Structure 1
């Protein structure tokens, strides 16, 4: 059902236009929540806060960008901490400090993945302000990066990055449920940078021309491209080069927001695949494999 809805969102026209009254309701609720959050905003925090998010539903590449930012910020001499809502996790209490060994069933799959990929502290809490306070009270770091936090308005922020899939953009430009937008496109007027994942056009500094992404105009648009570096056997830890997939027959599975991009990457490596998409954050069972 989810994949069907997404196909309609990113198709020409607005096949779900009959749901327009629900889009009006969605917008009214979202704007009400934003006004309420702004009224109780706690004010500026004593450390820089970077928010990585998007205004579209589904995967755009936020978590890989967050991991890259962690490396860049750490290289510059700072100590970053990641804040996450922990979607899919069911901890008995929050805030939850995530380590490489934390169970995804407690923290959610993405926070554990980020902890393993970066080695940086990850704090999970549906209330990101409380998570931020925990990170500061325990001196975990001196920069906070909120993964998928664009709509969590109670959290003060210094920099906002909105991430888009370069192939899908804003889809039909309508709000949920008629289209994929969590917020109107003019929300981008208040973000600092727009990041285009999979941008096909950019200059030497990575800047994307305004006309490259239909429906989006922003003075600071930059390209982002994901490149596979190695294949990892999760059971043995053995690694292989991505090029080793050339001509290989494989069964590829993915439980992410936009599995098509993952499958296209494998296709580009020359793999002869049977692609099996699963819902985002799917809890895999042995029979799924």
Structure 2
């Protein structure tokens, strides 16, 4: 979904916009409830690990999927990424293809059938938490500690695809950020048996941008998290620009950014996802920050995976 997230979605105080949009949110909930009742879940012959969210965008699903693939590879399992085909999400596909095989179809069940025919042993279902046609063996829901659940309302009144009660379907939660007891209590209130883990982003090439002037831009779920990560690592950010999630950059936009960097004798920096959406002829003028995710208590997390493979 390409959009620039409304600011009121992440406000602690209830906005008039949220109140005005509540009838639409209620209608969305009714439609989703009816749709779930009409869908029959299908069990597959290989273990399925689902990585999803209830907060729309910017929760770290893609780097977690990459880390899961690495874990499964170390466990000698032949894993595959399964995705629903969206033309606008090609950046995520390209990023995952650098890690391992990706099967994508208009229906995820068809992608799974094809992967099974090709002898894959474990499926990583990327962004499939709301797909009720597939029975999952392990469901992981991602949050970012900074945004958490925003204002707590369902789309379009807020940023949630579902309410926290959806966590009854999850086995694990991974929170990207600092330990937060208040958040943990709210999660456990909805599912006492759920396992809670924390993660953090580990920039892989941050030293390349030390002692440089940086102009950065991002079109991801929460661009502010990217900008904050740079500053946390003591990068000299002169200017930052946010674009809608999955934004396709125009020639004009890129020319303006490149010119601004040249005028300030600065380095132009973006995320790896954004970089993969930029035409190759522009990439020589733009750098990207590569990140991996680091899971705290990783051995405990791996034990949860071992239970189902």
**TM-score, structure 1 length as denominator?**
0.80
Residue by residue over 1:173-222, the C-alpha shift from the partner in whole angstroms, topping out at 9 and shown as x without a partner, is 11111111111211102200011011x12xxxxxxx65345743254110
Counterpart contact for 1:170–1:215, Cα < 8 Å: no
Residue of 173, 186, 204 corresponding to 1:194: 173
Counterpart of 2:246 in structure 1 is 281
Q: Distance in 1 between matches of 2:30 and 2:157?
A: 15
The question of whether the paired residues in 2 share the 8 Å contact of 1:169 and 1:214 is answered with no
Matched, 1:268 2:232: yes
Distance 2:101 2:26 in 1: 39
Report the CA distance between 1:2 and its aligned residue.
Answer: 4.5
Give the Cα separation in 2 of the matches to 1:25 and 1:133: 33
Contact 1:50 1:145 (C-alpha < 8 Å) held by counterparts: yes
Unaligned runs of 5+ in 2: 255-309
Q: Does 1:149 align with 2:151?
A: no
Match of 2:36 among 34, 37, 51: 34
The two structures, once aligned, show a CA RMSD in angstroms of: 1.8
Which residue pairs with 1:223 in the alignment?
Answer: 198
Secondary structure of 2:203 counterpart: coil
Query: Which segments of 5 or more consecutive residues in structure 1 lack a partner in the other structure?
Result: 90-106, 202-208, 231-241
Separation (CA, whole Å) in 2 of partners of 1:50 and 1:109: 22
Q: Does 1:49 align with 2:14?
A: no
Match of 1:108 among 90, 95, 105: 90
Mapped to 1, the partners of 2:236 and 2:86 lie a distance apart of 33
CA-CA distance at 1:13 after TM superposition: 2.2
1:178 equivalent in alignment to 2:154: no
Matched with 1:24 is 26
CA distance in 2, matches of 1:14, 1:57: 18
Q: Is the 8 A contact 2:4 2:245 kept in 1?
A: no
Please report the TM-score for the alignment, with normalisation by the length of structure 2.
0.75
How big is each residue's C-alpha offset from its partner over 1:133-183, in whole Å with a ceiling of 9 and x where there is no partner?
A: 0111122x1000111110011022111000001111111111111111111
Moved over 6 A (4+): none
Contact 1:88 / 1:281 at 8 angstroms: preserved in 2? no
Q: Report if the CA contact (8 A) 2:138-2:171 is conserved.
A: yes
Match for 2:210 among 234, 246, 253? 246
**How far off its partner does 1:4 sit?**
5.5
Query: 1:272 Cα deviation (Å)?
Result: 2.3
Number of aligned residue pairs: 246
**1:165 is aligned to 2:144:** yes
Structure number having the greater helix percentage: 2
> 12-21 vs 75-84, which deviates more?
12-21
Separation in 1, partners of 2:5, 2:162? 21
